[in-house]
Structure formats: structure tokens, C-alpha cells
Amino acid sequence: MFTKNDLKERLLGICFSETGSVSVRIWAPKAISLAVVIPSRGSVIALEKHLNGYWEAKAAPLKNGDQYHLLLDGHRVLPDPTSLYQTEGVHGESTVFDTRMYHWKDQSWIPHPLSEYVIYEVHTGTFSERGDFEGIIDKLDHLVELGITAIEIMPIAQFPGDRNWGYDGVFPYAVQNSYGGPQGFMELVDACHAKGLAVILDVVYNHFGPEGNYFESFGPYFTDKYETPWGKAINFDDAGCDGVRDFFLENALMWFRDFHVDALRLDAVHAIKDLSARHILQDLSQTVQELGRHLGKTLQLIVECDLNDPRFLESPEKNGYAMDAQWIDEFHHALRVTAGEKAQGYYEDFSGLQSLAKAFTTAYVYDGQYSKHRDKHFGGSATGFPGEKFVVFSQNHDQVGNRMLGERSSMLYSFHMLKLLAGTVMVSPYLPMLFMGEEWATRNPFLYFVSHTDPELIKAVREGRKSEFAAFHEEGEAPDPESEETFLSSKLDWELLQQHQGQVLFKFYKKLIALRKALPVLHNGDRNQLSVKCFPAQNCLALERWDDTTRVMCFMNFSNVIQSVSVAESLVNYSCVLDSSDPQWSGPIAASLNFTGQPHLTLQPESIIIYTSTHA
């Protein structure tokens, strides 16, 4: 674990101190000898071996911008695994980057509380025509106008070529060169903070990509004890794991301290295998909290987890991992089946309306009962955790991109259903997340794409993708992930935003987000002051939320016909604040109350209506 003094500056790789001196520290317990070579100057800096497999040099003659490589055992030329910049890609020279050279302008930035996050997920390469950090900066005013408070950036660790989702990264410290490198990322974070946007960075601590992966040359970064869907498991608990654990802890500190990010989203933590007495996530949480106290900021850790295990959110006192929030795919699955998705594959566990009602109240749909898809009893209880501990969405990069044809919701559902999906997410007690472009119903797909250089690897990826979707041959061939056209077709079509339908949906999203922000009852995350009523015959759902001063009633019709549902007579004291079927949102007609006999509310097909009532 790190001490308070360790938090001030970087400890691994090429390190610049506060006084300007340069040191080198590389973990390479397998090495017989190790040196830093600067080809342009013909310089060789021999490193000395110290305790625990670290090789070091003090007062090294290195400066910002120097290109260098490591010489392992006198004959192996390798890039630096802790490099911050790979200007020549994953196989080329490393480039010295001094993070102190950037002059930050965000001194007045105060991070948002997690409960105020309205998240927008972005893939840098496809978000803009430029496909880089500057392209994101150009669009920040759009996100501010929409009402977004946090932008989540898919992984930017250096990957092969210039096209990738980011989950094939092989230099966790290096910022992708084709996106703008570390300087460009700093400028993006600074620009986000200037606009009032928090920055969440997606990081991958469960595996390394296959191409440009030189880690085994340096030390026991992998273990044969476990397997992952993506190859060898990272060694967090086997012999020699201490250096591996420190490598990732230092990486997290770097993003927070040197790049000023506000939160990390940890990819697929269920694939992090660690049976140590202290799980790596516990060490990570403690280390990040210590850095936060040192910086005077609250730093957030958000995990993607497929286990429905409350231990990831529990406090250390209860032997938990103390993560700040968690993605829950089950809300998405329940919502999509309710909207008409076939209950097959991982959707087969979800009954639609009843599952969605449970997701609203218990977060985990499966919290101990039998799962047909998993063929076992699955999950634990999330009782006691507030709504801001969970992130929900109607689509994200995985749920779109893992479809064979990468169809977004706009390609699968009607315009009215898109409004309903958005409304359902926004009125939930959880943190809402949008996937880039959904707010104007962009039509371009988000496909799986790579740009490897190894012919055998390219062949394996192509065949793997075809095999994965062999049962879907009637839908055509799976797009070639290596093709540049696959990547280009996945770029957002911003011109659609200017068309009538795009403008209507964008304004509808703005209204939804503004309502969520304006009404504390909608963003307070209190799952105890919430009730749900299902109308199975009509495929409708009523959600009620309340606090000391306000009650909100939300009615959702997921069927494709007009439905009538019974309501409490006290609804006459409510005001309608949003009706997706209103003509201003391109709907057919506003909903109406019928008080002949027992009061009924007539709901238009695929619509959501929100009522509020204020009381003393």
C-alpha cells in the first residue's frame, strides 16, 4: 500500500519530481539486466536492481519528448510498459511525457456529488468526424445544453492501430496516440471542467489486449490459476503478484492526480480474479480515498459487474470492496423485454413488466432466486444501498455493439418507444446514463471494430465474430471488424440532429433531464419512498415516488395500442409536467383522465406521462 508521501507524484516509469529531477523505476523481476536507450543521442542509461524486482536510476538524463526504449538482458528491445505516450504505436519507441508541463486551468473546479451525475457515454473515435479528443471538445456545448453533468469516455489506453473500442489496450498508462495523446486528453479534461462536466474514464484492469502485449517479458503479470474470456488472467494473487498490484494501483492514482479525472469506471470487475485476504479492489478503494483526502476532493470508483454481489458496494468494515457505484445490466434487460425484445439469450431470465417493476424497487432483479439462463440460484440483496449506487441505461456500447449488426434502439423501436425508454430511465431512482447519439435517434450502428496488424490475429478475430453469430445467418454476414468501413459506418450522424425528428427528441431529452434535476424527489435516490404497480393485461406500469413535500406519479404504456388504467381519485390534485404523447413531442394526442365512475387514465401507445403534486 502507498503512504501519504507516495501519493504526491508518480512512482513507476519515467518520473519527474517536484524539483525537476528525473528518475526511472521499472518492475522487471525476470530481468538479468535492464537499461533505457535514447537512440537519437546514442545514450544508454543502465538501471540498478533493487528490492522486489525493481530496476532504478536516479538523476537520469531524460527530458520531455525524448524517444526511448528498454533494453532487456542486453538484447531485447522493448517499449516501456509504463509509457505515457506511444507516438509510434504499440510496437514502436516510447516517448517521455512530463505531466507537469501542462498548465491546468481547473483550479476552481468542484466535482459534482455522485447523486447529481447524469452520464453520457462516449467513444472518442466515433463521437465526432475528427475522431479525437479535440472532436469531443467541439461538442461539449451540446452536452451542456442537453443537461449532462458527467461524460464517460470509453478506454483510451494505447491499442494497436487507430480503430478499436479500447478494450484491447496494452499500455494502461499511455493515452492513445491517434486520439491526441496525453496532452490532448489533459486539454479535454480541462475543457470539460470549464463547462461544468465531470470526467469518468473507462479503464480495463481485468486483461490486456493480444497485440503489443509485452508484459510477460518483464514479470509474472499473468497467472494460470484462472481464465478470462479474453485470454490469460492478470496475476493479482499468485506468486510475484505484489508488483502487479502496485502497477494497477499506481495507474489509478495517475489518472486522478495527473490527469484530473473525477471517476474511473472499472471494466468487468467480475473477471478480476483475486483470492487474497485483501482483494485488489479493497486496496484500490483505500488508496483512492487516501489520494482524495490528500487532494481535498471526492474521487469515485464505478464498476461494471455481472455478479449481483453487494460485496462490491459494501464498506470495508463488512469486508466489502467499497466501490462507489455499479452498472446494472438487469434494469436494461428488463426494460428491453418489456419494450418487446425477445426473451432469448441473456434476456430469457426476464419476464418483462414484472422484472422491470422489481428492478425499480430492488436494483438487482435476481437477488437469490433461480436463474434459468445461468442454471443456478443467483445474486444477493441490494437492500440498504441508495439509488446513486447504481447506473442504469436503455442502451450502452456493449448492448448495442455486441449485436451482430450493431443496431441502436433507434433502429429497433418506434420514435414513441424511444421517448418511453428515455423516460423510464430518467424517472428511476438510479443514476441515468445515455449512450452517445441516442438523444437525437442517430441511425448509424455501433459495430465492433479493430485495426490489428498481425494477419493471424486479424483472421482469428474475423472467424470468431462469424462463429459468434453463426445462428443469425438469416440476418446476413457479420460485418468485418477489421474493415475501415465498419468503423466509419459507426460514426455518429450529427446531421440528423438538425432534422425535425432529431430536434424533437433532443428537446424531449432536455425536458426529461431538467425535470429530474428540478425535482429532488426524482434524483434523491431514495428507494424506500417508491412504489410500483403493474397492469399486466395492458403492459402498463405506474411508478410513484415521494418525499416530504412532493409526490410524482409516472404512468408508462409499453403496448402499441391505447390503454386505460385505473388511478387514484386524488390524481385530480396533480399537475401534468410531461406527456410524451403530446403533439409538441410528435405524439398523437395528450393523455386524458376519465372520471365516469372509477377514475381512469387513457394512455396513448408507447408513452410515458408524469404528474406531480406538492403538499405542505
d(CA 13, CA 56): 9
The rounded Cα 271 to chain-centroid distance in angstroms is: 16
Is 270 one of the annotated binding-site residues? yes
Please check whether residue 529 is in contact with residue 520, taking contact to mean a CB–CB distance below 8 angstroms.
Answer: no
d(CA 131, CA 494): 13
The catalytic site residues sit at 267, 304
Please check whether residue 287 is in contact with residue 253, taking contact to mean a CB–CB distance below 8 angstroms.
Answer: yes
pLDDT of 487-544, one tens digit each? 999 999 999 999 999 999 999 999 999 999 999 999 999 999 999 999 999 999 999 9
Is 397 one of the annotated binding-site residues? yes
CATH number for region 530-614: 2.60.40.1180
Is 377 one of the annotated binding-site residues? no
- Amino acid, single-letter form, for residue 249: L
- Give residue limits of the domains in the chain: 5-99, 530-614
Is 464 one of the annotated binding-site residues? no
Give the angle 492-497-502 at the CA atoms, nearest 5°: 120
Look at the chain and count its residues: 616
Grid coordinates given for 137: 471538445
d(CA 369, CA 372): 10
Is 475 one of the annotated binding-site residues? no
Beta bridge partners of 575: 612
| Helix (H) or strand (E) run with residue 306 in it | none
pLDDT of 558-593, one tens digit each? 999 999 999 877 787 889 999 999 999 999 998 887
* pLDDT score of 552: 96
Q: Which residue numbers in the chain have pLDDT < 50?
A: none
Hey, what CATH class is 5-99 in? Answer: mainly beta
* pLDDT score of 90: 97
* pLDDT score of 480: 93
* pLDDT score of 38: 97
Please check whether residue 272 is in contact with residue 228, taking contact to mean a CB–CB distance below 8 angstroms.
Answer: no
Is 330 one of the annotated binding-site residues? yes
DSSP label of 561? S
Question: Strand 540-546's sheet: what is its strand order?
Answer: 530-535, 540-546, 550-557, 607-614, 575-579
Is 402 one of the annotated binding-site residues? yes
Terminal Cα-to-Cα distance of the chain (whole angstroms)? 52
Provide the pairing of β-strand 13-16 with 263-266: unpaired
* pLDDT score of 196: 98
* pLDDT score of 2: 52
* pLDDT score of 422: 98
What is residue 595's three-state secondary structure?
A: coil
Is 193 one of the annotated binding-site residues? no
Number of H helices, E strands in the chain: 14, 31
Is 250 one of the annotated binding-site residues? no
Question: What are the two backbone dihedrals, phi and then psi, of residue 364, each rounded to the nearest 5 degrees?
Answer: -80, 125
* pLDDT score of 19: 81
Is 268 one of the annotated binding-site residues? yes
* pLDDT score of 596: 62
- Amino acid, single-letter form, for residue 545: R
The rounded Cα 80 to chain-centroid distance in angstroms is: 27
DSSP label of 559? S
5-99 with 530-614: one CATH topology?
Answer: yes
* pLDDT score of 464: 83
